[in-house]
Structure 1
């Protein structure tokens, strides 16, 4: 196994074990199936409690009858069957490699490092499941691609392409460019996993509306997930000298700013957070925002469960 995949296993999975394409994964999804994505076969896995939204055809009435009786006056303890998904998928990683990915996440890691680990998590599951996985990456100047393939060597190559990308000479970010490339070149259905930093609109409503339309269009054709890597706070107590990775301008320390400036900064951050929340709601995209590699497994698992693809 390549060095990058080994790093992902150590940092993201933290000792959790993956098994072969027809086996069960008892850790990555906390007891869920090996496949991250929706699908079922006739191969029975196990039972779990019924939750609203489950297909009533999956209720195991005999097992329910044998289970502990419900509390007095309470609903019955229904049990539903779970199945191992044997269906293979085509997975497409769409990754931002703009200059902004050299900036820090709240954990102190570069956003590019967190992105590579998120890609690696998806890659390891695809390896175990036998899924094909491809890559689209780029910045405002354009996009490049690696065709779908299978196996450890292929996933390692994908990770190394992003991990070794020259961010010092990259352009600014533009998710619209990468999404337009996906719209033009991927007509068949894929599981699309978008990995990027936080989008910045700068008050440009047309750009925001364009991105909403693109994300909705891709979600209508593909199964779309979005991993958004948070930016580290610009101002924080004890922070050292820093600079804007896109402009190269030095940033003033918090200690050098007055109370009015700090208060204005905090208000601007609150507005930005609210704008991003409104944007994600308008897109109706299944998204998760992560602070660090350490949070990837928990956050991605929660994302998949909320969308109904983790069980």
Structure 2
């Protein structure tokens, strides 16, 4: 899946699970090793110290007493909780079954889910999931242990594809279902975020949980190649359309519209209060995750989420 490795759909489920486990537990370059990996800034519950505010800090952790006393904005730096419940929300809409580079977005989403699972695996931590599909939302209750982690990823790999035109649960409905979960955990929402209606549920979820929004992108969603008359199929509806890609004006308009769409998605995620990680099917997504982990580690002073 990265660095010339096979894609997940080219492997059996057992091979795919082993491949993912090796990526995140034995990666030779050490990018994802250490005892303090962090996917989102983890506020925890036990106050450790107060320090001056820096750009990027969570304003919900403002220490108003220290700010008033010193006239300089301060935030509370807290120790992370010993135990963490992590929920993975995995989008399985038809638009995820698309990819023109190293893999489909569907594969990339499962890889991101594996990263969340392995990077939050600690003694006592629990992992659960909500997987969307043609039969609705499949909820896997949170449990601890490597066997449960691998079973959850196996279920993610086995999700059936959604046939075009078949009604499906939207991402907004799936995120909205998080309201039934106890507050205080971590939630990773993995999707291309191309549909609408998820903004308000994500905002509500971010008020109750630490939320990481993982956005999956394929390069052909950002720009069209000049390949003459191109027949495209809407994966959600099955509708076909012929696109004259030889037109420079059309390609420029497409790229501009895609740029505006992605900017709107980014703004909506940031306004919700969620952390944002963007992964592409044509990049070394493991390294991109590692960079995100390192950025959050520096931001939280090395604390674990």
TM-score by length of 2: 0.69
State the Cα distance separating 1:227 from its structure 2 match.
0.8
Separation (CA, whole Å) in 1 of partners of 2:82 and 2:106: 31
The residue that corresponds to 1:101 in the other structure is 96
The residue that corresponds to 2:5 in the other structure is none
The residue that corresponds to 1:65 in the other structure is none
CA deviation map 1:147-194 (0-9, x unaligned): 1112222111111111111114364562111112111x2033211111
Separation (CA, whole Å) in 1 of partners of 2:136 and 2:298: 33
Change (3 A) 1:241 1:301: farther
Name stretches of at least 5 consecutive residues in structure 2 with no aligned partner. 1-12, 62-76
State the Cα distance separating 1:137 from its structure 2 match.
1.4
Return the index of the structure with the highest Cα Rg: 1
State the Cα distance separating 1:117 from its structure 2 match.
1.0
Separation (CA, whole Å) in 1 of partners of 2:301 and 2:138: 29
| 8 Å CA contact retained: 1:143, 1:181 | no
Separation (CA, whole Å) in 2 of partners of 1:84 and 1:274: 34
2:176 to 176, 180, 191: 180
Separation (CA, whole Å) in 1 of partners of 2:86 and 2:37: 15
Name stretches of at least 5 consecutive residues in structure 1 with no aligned partner. 18-25, 42-49, 56-81, 202-206
Separation (CA, whole Å) in 1 of partners of 2:234 and 2:88: 27
The residue that corresponds to 1:265 in the other structure is 254
State the Cα distance separating 1:120 from its structure 2 match.
1.0
Q: CA RMSD in A?
A: 3.8
Number of matched residues? Answer: 258
Change (3 A) 1:6 1:262: same
| 8 Å CA contact retained: 2:110, 2:153 | yes
The residue that corresponds to 1:217 in the other structure is 204
The residue that corresponds to 2:66 in the other structure is none
| 2:20 aligned with 1:8 | yes
| 2:161 aligned with 1:167 | yes
Separation (CA, whole Å) in 1 of partners of 2:147 and 2:275: 29
Separation (CA, whole Å) in 1 of partners of 2:106 and 2:227: 24
Q: Secondary structure at the match of 1:218?
A: helix
TM-score by length of 1: 0.68
| 8 Å CA contact retained: 1:241, 1:250 | yes
State the Cα distance separating 1:134 from its structure 2 match.
0.4
The residue that corresponds to 2:36 in the other structure is 33
The residue that corresponds to 2:214 in the other structure is 227
State the Cα distance separating 1:98 from its structure 2 match.
1.3
2:233 to 240, 243, 263: 243
State the Cα distance separating 1:246 from its structure 2 match.
2.0
Separation (CA, whole Å) in 2 of partners of 1:12 and 1:254: 43
Higher RCO (CA < 8 A, seq sep 6+): 2
1:275 to 255, 264, 268: 264
Separation (CA, whole Å) in 1 of partners of 2:301 and 2:93: 30
State the Cα distance separating 1:295 from its structure 2 match.
4.0
Separation (CA, whole Å) in 2 of partners of 1:86 and 1:277: 29
Separation (CA, whole Å) in 2 of partners of 1:230 and 1:306: 26
The residue that corresponds to 1:123 in the other structure is 117
| 8 Å CA contact retained: 1:33, 1:85 | no
Separation (CA, whole Å) in 2 of partners of 1:10 and 1:108: 19
Separation (CA, whole Å) in 1 of partners of 2:225 and 2:301: 37
